[in-house]
């Protein structure tokens, strides 16, 4: 999985449901974390005020599979995105672009479009959700950024019929599972190991053994510090840079403004 707009990525060859470093490692990723690691694909694409495509990453999934130009024989960059769409889609997306440009500067429009792209049931069907942000250069709004999140229905709170009942409740429940897993799989073991090492160190009479225990305790503390930095990493990878424009906050929402 790669987070669009960020140099941070997860090595698919070395991370899997069986563990971190599956090429020989033994550490297992908890099921909830493994599912999250593999669940979401994020892509960005942007148009200017005339709906010309100015930036794209990967296939344009919401636009019925149109490619950004990296593998297709044509390169739509610089062309009107509306002209590339089927007739039935043009008016719809023209309204989306107009609505996004009509919002107050700095007030992101949260517009979600869901579409099943494969599978037949809730567990296998993947959906595309599109959020809209301003494409800005300084304080000026130059166009629209579409943030495409492709994920399975269970993660987006999507029903097989394409509706979104209880979406907030589903997301809250998933967040609780995630937090509980982190606490159980990381924080609790770190606390136990740290306390045990401190007790052993206090009772150890052999200077060499004491040094080894202290080194192990230092390692535990470094891991604990790294865990604290996860929130900062999350903040970094939740932004994206489109050359020539202001940084885009992928997590901005109209509710937060």
Q: Of all residues in the chain, what percent carry a pLDDT higher than 70? A: 36
What pLDDT, on a 0 to 100 scale, did the predictor assign at position 172? 53
Coil, strand or helix at 172: helix
> For position 37, what pLDDT does the model report?
47
Contact between residue 77 and residue 69 where contact means Cβ atoms under 8 Å apart: yes
Model confidence at 11, pLDDT cuts 50, 70, 90, reads very low
DSSP E strands in the chain: the ranges are 15-16, 19-20, 41-48, 53-56, 115-118, 126-137, 140-152, 239-240, 248-249
What's the pLDDT tens digit per position in 12-63? Answer: 332 323 322 333 333 444 455 455 545 556 667 788 888 888 877 655 544 4
Mean of pLDDT values over 77-105:
72
Q: Is the pLDDT of residue 71 over 60?
A: no
Is the confidence at residue 255, as pLDDT, over 50?
A: no
Structural domains of the chain in order of their starting residue, each with its CATH number: 15-161+239-249 (3.30.450.20)
Q: Are 215 and 209 in contact (CB under 8 A)?
A: no
- Structure confidence at residue 95 (pLDDT): 79
Question: What confidence tier does 69 reach under pLDDT thresholds 50, 70, 90?
Answer: very low
Q: Where are the beta strands (DSSP E) in 138-185?
A: 140-152
Report which of residues 154 and 19 the model is more confident about.
154
């Amino acid at each position: 999985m790669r987070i669009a707009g960020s140099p941070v990525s997860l090595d698919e060859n070395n991370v899997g449901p069986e563990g971190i470093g599956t090429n020989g490692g033994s550490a297992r990723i908890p099921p909830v974390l493994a599912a999250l690691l593999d669940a979401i694909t994020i892509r960005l694409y942007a148009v200017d005020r005339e709906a010309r495509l100015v930036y794209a990453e990967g296939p344009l999934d919401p636009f019925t599979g149109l490619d950004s130009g990296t593998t297709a024989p044509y390169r739509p960059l610089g062309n009107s995105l509306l002209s590339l769409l089927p007739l039935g889609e043009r008016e719809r997306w023209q309204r989306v672009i107009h609505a996004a440009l009509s919002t107050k500067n700095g007030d992101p429009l949260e517009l979600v479009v869901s579409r099943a792209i494969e599978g037949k049931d809730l567990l296998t069907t993947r959906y595309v959700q599109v959020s809209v942000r301003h494409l800005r250069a300084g304080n000026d709004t130059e166009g629209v950024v579409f943030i495409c999140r492709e994920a399975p229905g269970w993660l987006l709170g999507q029903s097989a019929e394409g509706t979104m009942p209880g979406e907030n409740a589903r997301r809250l429940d998933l967040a609780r599972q995630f937090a509980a897993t982190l606490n159980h799989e990381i924080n609790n073991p770190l606390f136990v190991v740290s306390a045990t090492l401190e007790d052993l160190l206090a009772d150890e009479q052999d200077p060499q053994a004491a040094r080894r225990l202290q080194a192990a305790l230092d390692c535990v503390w470094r891991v604990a510090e790294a865990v604290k930095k996860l929130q900062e990493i999350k903040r970094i990878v939740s932004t994206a840079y489109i050359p020539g424009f202001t940084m885009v906050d992928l997590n901005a929402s109209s509710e937060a403004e």
